[in-house]
A = this chain, B = another copy of it.
């Protein structure tokens, strides 16, 4: 099979998002404690003020700030002590001019008071008299009701992948359960007469299934769920039966191709055999990963990934991850960093080139050095921290340039 209609990465992505523009992974309600790294499916609007009462930010005495004007180290002001506010309790006293009440950090400010003087700046003369040595401004050392979060305020946007900080904010609003997108369900099929699973000792000429393991792991890190995983031989009927069942129970089917021409042929014929658009991307001008196939059958997305382990990971990141991120509209900073290139590297003009790199810290600077090897080598994988992208119109990269590193 030849690839007559190579598309660019951008064209491939656009086609894919166009075909699946109405794709819907669904939503579910889960408990807050289990929501780390899940994707919010509805923006969070606060139903209350945080804090719900005026709080002290220090250990000190709540007063009327006007009473402190003129106070100094040499000329303290005298105030009457009016008991104390206990931590976690409603402040039932009311402060009038000339009065002060002890309030701990986080404690509620009694009515009438508008500032808190820190314990470092006062002296207790006796049980009923307080000397204050410093003037305070209005609102000093107080967080006012709603100062932090206001009722009706939008707190977290739909599409956010929830971080530990977000979980804390949602707890502060008393949200015990929240709405998130369901985990996209994947089915992974490895094809190829040469592939055996890792619990089988491979006969000479056979090799172990690698890609479905790294894909499984990539899917977990992406927040997806693997509902099935199997190995199928290069046989149209067997592969079609398997894809048919996979389409029924998953959102996305990944066919990790053997690297031979025969396997690629079967994959595209099988995709075309279902009701639907069939194969609509058939080869991409990307290096590595040219023999990439994207299609649709029974309303579901099917990706034919190249057989080489490195290509398989790159194409997953470039297309499958992009698919999920765009359809769910995930808002997050991409997991990337920058580094100084440690090498000159020519690229293939007209093809978007992905080069695996290792990150090295040297003299306080971050460098990236390429991980080279023959096509299909597995050991490249564990030596790589991420990859750089060289655009089709670029001629390559130059030593000393600073570039983005997309972390794996």
Question: Contact residues of A with B, CB < 8 Å?
Answer: 32-33, 36-37, 50-53, 55, 57, 59, 85-91, 104-108, 143, 147-149, 155-156, 162-176, 192-195, 198-199, 201-211, 213-218, 220-221, 234, 258-263, 307, 309, 313, 333, 336-338, 359, 361, 366, 373-379, 381-382, 384-385, 408
Contact = CB atoms under 8 A, between A and B. Distances in A.
B382 A36 contact: no
B164 A59 contact: no
A169 B379 contact: yes
Contacts of A87: 192-194, 234, 258, 260, 262-263
Nearest to A383: B165
Q: For the complex formed by this chain, how many copies does it contain in all?
A: 2
Contacts of A166: 381-382
Contacts of A221: 36-37, 164
Contacts of A258: 87, 106
A213 B32 contact: yes
Contacts of A204: 52-53, 90, 108
A325 to B, nearest CB: 16
Nearest to A104: B260
**Leading 4 A-B pairs by shortest Cβ distance:** A88-B194, A168-B214, A164-B217, A165-B381
B377 A148 contact: yes
A170 B214 CA distance: 10
B209 A374 contact: no
B261 A104 contact: yes
A193 B88 contact: yes
Contacts of A337: 336-338
Given A52-B202, A171-B209, A379-B149, A217 B88 contact: no
Contact of A88 (B205, B213, B373): B205
Contacts of A313: 164-165, 168
A166 B173 CA distance: 40
Nearest to A155: B382
B217 A36 contact: yes
